[in-house]
A and B are shown apart, each in its own frame.
Chain A
Amino acid sequence: MRGVIGVVCVLCMLLAGCAVGKKEAKIPSTAAPEKVMPQEEKGRVVGVPSVEEKVLTPQEAFVKEVKEVYIHFDFDKYNIKPNDIPTLNRIVEFMKRHPDVRIRIEGNCDERGTEEYNLALGQRRANAAFKYIVASGISPSRLETISYGESRPVDPRHCEEAWAKNRNAHFVVISR
């Protein structure tokens, strides 16, 4: 009898494992979040999927796994800072775990400085992250870069704290 229970337990664990595996496979899905959970928006209790079982968007899954999807830069600089290396390494590991994932690196600047120069500076920030990830063994074909200059601030305030946040390279999952 104990043997039977043991086999059942093992089978359950294996099935659970398969289920988790399937869930991970959905991580890089391109489904839009509002299409995934219309029930929540309407405030209805639908039961399935529950909040806990919510299917994550590719970007949400990416954020959950690598923790941080921004690296930051000093004013008018585009060199990678040592404290951002762990973030980049986590992104590299994520891409190695998910070989069908492609990532866009978006270079951004704070509002100080001038628009045209900031477009170029944002591009160099994206390029710096691109070079690090490629040097870590990821194919360049799985990455793309873009600069938004000062057009897309994370924090719209006009202060040093906001500017520090807005000088960044942002990593976005674009496809599997």
Chain B
Amino acid sequence: MKSCIVRIFIFVVLFFSFTSISWGEMRIQITTATLKPTVILMFPFLANETACELTGSRLKDVIVDDLKTTGYFEIIDGGKPHGFSTDIADIVADSAGSGADYVVFGSISEKEQEKVLLSIKIFDRNRGEIVLSRIYASKKEYYRWIAHRVCDEFFQVVTGRYGPFEDRLLFSKGDDKHKEIYISDYDGHDVKMLTRWKTISILPKWINNSSFFFTSYRTGEPASYRYDLSTGKIKLFFKHKGLSITPTPFKNDLYAISLGFSDNIDIYLIKKNGRIIRRLTFDENIDVSPTFSPDRTKMAFVSRRHGSPQIFIKDLETTRVKRLTYDGSYNTSPSWSPTSDYIAYVSVHRSVSKLCIIRSDGSQMKELAEAESIDCPSWSRDGRFIAYISQVNGKSYICIICVATGHKRVVLQTDELYNGLSWLNVEKQ
């Protein structure tokens, strides 16, 4: 019975986070969770030799950090190691009285040169069975990837939806003269600079898991470039006389892009060869920041057509446009969840910005975070988390917030500025 309750709770909170249940119902679930968090007992991994004890310890720490990002789990340290082949009876005995719902244990060894092998099991104490049993091998330097993979698969087993921890962040960082594009793990580790143009390169957006767009002033005017991560090559994607902002992938190799023609800035649909095939917005003002519903039948965007920047939704089949936000005079940066009807956006008041979510029918608006400045909300591929940029006291941060629990984690910070952020949330290819 207890097993059933725990599984239903996690299923509801993780899987159905924002698909159909209301915030009122959600609050009840979260309240329940507060009273009884899901407890995970983690035994240190058994090392076959002293040399890989440190890797095992580091790997365990990354798993703990990933799980803590959710705010769903309470992690208990098991103390002494238990290897992959440990008898389940021993696991049951050694976890008795811990109150744990799941027990994680396994072995770590090193193969050949600089290769690490993790054999891991996750035991569901309430159901009395192993729910995950895997062996992972990789270069030792990629131990963090193994940990993220374990957690992603754990989410898949428990909730039916794969986790987002292997997906990476793209961001722009720099001062008032130069801004470059960077990539990192979702948790801010393994940061790599991708451009070295010593100009302003901003607003990266994933196209798929191996390429992305960004805007750069490399030739003096803003133009869109496409970066191929598999080859490291950068190609000019779109340039025209006037403003153009990083395209947003739509479907079938079509992209939505904000362009300035004459005095107007409108949203257009372009092909992968850069040819404009359709104008999507018609307004003599500012229309920017297109983002699409998961089924690609609707587009949310920012428009100043009513005198202040607000979020509107265009039905792409009927072409009807309706205003979504009315609260405040500055609502921008919409980002449609890849899995639900929720749109994240930024609401700016004079000295404070708020990260909000709202359903596409205008209901169930909720404030998730607040800072002096917030920008670029970007959903994780599983729709459970939002990454965003915030500024407080002159420092710039990249944060990740769990939408259901509100649990926040700062993953990167700088004394410079972040200008653009994108968390891989498109289909893997």
Q: Which residues of A contact B (CB under 8 A)?
A: 75-76, 111-117, 119-121, 123-124, 127, 131, 145-153, 156, 158
Contact = CB atoms under 8 A, between A and B. Distances in A.
B222 A119 contact: yes
B399 interface: no
Interface stretch (B81-89, B316-324, B371-379): B371-379
B333 interface: yes
B24 interface: no
Given A112-B348, A117-B333, A124 B420 contact: no
Given A119-B245, A131-B263, A147 B375 contact: no
B116 to A, nearest CB: 40
Closest 4 CB pairs of A and B: A120-B286, A114-B332, A114-B333, A123-B243
Interface of B: 176-177, 179, 200, 202-203, 215, 217, 220-222, 242-243, 245-246, 258, 260, 263, 265, 286, 288-289, 302, 308-309, 329-330, 332-333, 346, 348, 350, 353, 372-373, 375-376, 391, 393-394, 417, 419-420
B330 A76 contact: yes
13 contacts: A111-B391, A112-B373, A114-B348, A116-B288, A117-B288, A120-B260, A120-B286, A123-B242, A146-B220, A149-B202, A152-B176, A156-B176, A158-B391
A116 B332 contact: yes
Contact of B309 (A76, A119, A127, A150): A76
B367 to A, nearest CB: 16
B288 A147 contact: no
A158 B217 CA distance: 25
A21 B182 CA distance: 51
A121 B351 CA distance: 19
B263 A117 contact: no
Contacts of A146: 220-222
Nearest to A117: B332
B243 A151 contact: no
Given A121-B286, A146-B221, A116 B263 contact: no
Contacts of A156: 176
Contacts of A152: 176-177, 200
A116 B333 contact: yes
A115 B372 contact: no
A151 B372 CA distance: 17
Contacts of A153: 176
Contact of B286 (A124, A131, A150): A124
A117 B203 contact: no
B202 A123 contact: no
A153 B350 CA distance: 18
Contacts of A145: 242
A130 to B, nearest CB: 9
B377 to A, nearest CB: 10
Contacts of B350: 75, 112
Contacts of A120: 243, 245, 258, 260, 265, 286, 288
Contacts of B391: 111, 158
Contacts of B200: 148, 151-152
Given A76-B308, A147-B243, A115 B203 contact: yes
B332 A113 contact: yes
A141 to B, nearest CB: 12
A119 B176 contact: no
Contacts of A147: 222, 243, 260
Nearest to B377: A114
Contact of B289 (A75, A116, A127): A116
Nearest to A145: B242
Contact of A151 (B221, B394, B419): B419
Given A115-B376, A120-B243, A120-B286, A151 B202 contact: yes
Contacts of A150: 419
Nearest to B395: A158
B263 A115 contact: no
Nearest to B246: A116
B394 A117 contact: no
Given A76-B309, A114-B332, A120-B243, A151 B176 contact: yes
Nearest to B175: A156
A118 to B, nearest CB: 9
A149 to B, nearest CB: 8
Nearest to B172: A115
Nearest to B263: A127
B420 to A, nearest CB: 6
B176 to A, nearest CB: 5
Given A113-B332, A116-B245, 6 more contacts: A76-B308, A112-B373, A114-B333, A115-B376, A117-B286, A121-B286
A145 B260 CA distance: 11
B244 to A, nearest CB: 9
Contact of A114 (B220, B308, B372, B376): B376
Residue of A114, A149, A151 most packed against chain B (CB within 10 A) = A114
Given A76-B309, A115-B419, A117-B289, A124 B202 contact: no
Contacts of A76: 308-309, 329-330
Nearest to B215: A119
B332 A119 contact: no
A158 B260 CA distance: 29
A115 B330 contact: no
Nearest to A127: B263
A168 to B, nearest CB: 14
Contact of A119 (B177, B288, B329, B346): B288
